[in-house]
Amino acid sequence: MTDRVSTGLAKLDVMLGGGLLPGTLTVAYGATGIGKTHLGLTFADHGRSADGARGIVFDLNGRGDSQQHDEYAARLFAWTLKPWRHTVTPMSDPYPPAGEMEAFYSNALPWVGRVRDFQVPTPDGGVEFDWNWKATYNHALYTVRPFVYFHFAAGTRRVVVDGVEPMDSPADSIQFFMFDELYRKAIHRDAETLGMEICLPVWKHRAFIDAHLYDHSRITTLLLVTTEETRLEDLLARKVATGDLGATANTILVLGSERVGNRLARMLCVIKHRGSAMSDEIVEYTIGPRGITLG
């Protein structure tokens, strides 16, 4: 990493045996305020030098930008993090208007809580998603899928998903449901297929679709998950619950705090990194005006 802020994370690349592997999913666990958003925005911004385009940022938090993405991006990277607003309904003009490709942030999926909060009973004793909510969710996808597709077509190869709140059972979380849908049906959907689903009628936009194919298997995703545990030792002992995406992730990072003498220090550790060498070192890091710096 060579840019001004990312040099502070060069040690993390060493710990990961060269960095995150293209096409993989990394989950970073840590309590509120521990530095996950700093880490995610640094990863997204570094796409400029590594991939030729910044990464895109999804905020799944339902309370607006409580993660302070705007402020951090502006202060650390002189990056105005504009929200993507372009919506493509079936058979409408798919192409983003002038300036929209400068929008790398989406908060179009703001739902939090348990899956059952969005479900209703069926006559046969089962449950299904409430049709009104499902319609609203499907309409949000008319914004989300073009956000993903047009940025990938323009060279973006990094995705950061932030704002995932604590849940005793991740399988019960609507946020984990939405991330799984996003990951399988947009981020890692074949470029031609996704393009044909958005750019309708296909015959009219065939040349654009063919000229903007990309390899979805090269897209790297960083999922930031907030935990109730704050201490590093508790995070290291944390069990993987049913539905927890960490079970299938290529890489797991944990960020926690520990007492060091008369102060509370932030610590980072890599606990899983398939496909490459990794360090078992526990490293202290600080967060300052220039972002995260690993000691």
Record the pTM: 0.94
Helix (H) or strand (E) holding 269: strand 263-273
Contact 182, 160 (CB under 8 A): no
Whether residue 32 is predicted with pLDDT greater than 70 in this model: the reply is yes
Domains in the chain: ranges and CATH? 24-254 (3.40.50)
Mean pLDDT, rounded, of the chain: 92
| The pLDDT value given to residue 5 | 44
102 phi and psi angles, rounded to 5 deg: -85, 0
Distance CA 222, CA 157 (A): 11
- Which of 5-14, 87-96, 164-173, 236-245 is predicted most confidently? 87-96
Contact 47, 266 (CB under 8 A): no
| The pLDDT value given to residue 209 | 98
Average pLDDT estimate for 153-163: 97
Q: For strand 25-30 and strand 291-294, is the pairing parallel, antiparallel, or unpaired?
A: unpaired
Whether residue 9 is predicted with pLDDT greater than 60 in this model: the reply is yes
| The pLDDT value given to residue 62 | 67
Q: For strand 263-273 and strand 105-106, is the pairing parallel, antiparallel, or unpaired?
A: unpaired
Whether residue 4 is predicted with pLDDT greater than 60 in this model: the reply is no
Pick left, alpha or beta for residue 78 (phi over 0 → left; psi -120 to 50 → alpha; otherwise beta).
left
Whether residue 68 is predicted with pLDDT greater than 60 in this model: the reply is yes
Whether residue 3 is predicted with pLDDT greater than 60 in this model: the reply is no
Tens-place pLDDT, residues 83-131 = 999 999 999 999 999 999 999 999 999 999 999 999 999 999 999 999 9
| List of long-range contacts for 255-262, beta carbons under 8 Å, 24+ apart | 255/28, 255/29, 255/30, 255/34, 255/35, 255/36, 255/39, 255/285, 256/30, 256/31, 256/34, 256/229, 256/230, 256/231, 256/232, 257/31, 257/34, 257/230, 257/231, 257/232, 258/231, 258/232, 258/233, 260/284
Using pLDDT thresholds of 50, 70 and 90, give the confidence band for residue 7.
Answer: low
| The pLDDT value given to residue 285 | 94
Using pLDDT thresholds of 50, 70 and 90, give the confidence band for residue 283.
Answer: very high
Q: What share of the chain is helix, strand, coil (3-state, %, to 5)?
A: 35, 25, 40
| The pLDDT value given to residue 8 | 64
| The pLDDT value given to residue 291 | 84
| The pLDDT value given to residue 255 | 97
Whether residue 268 is predicted with pLDDT greater than 60 in this model: the reply is yes
**pLDDT cut 90: percent of the chain above it:** 81
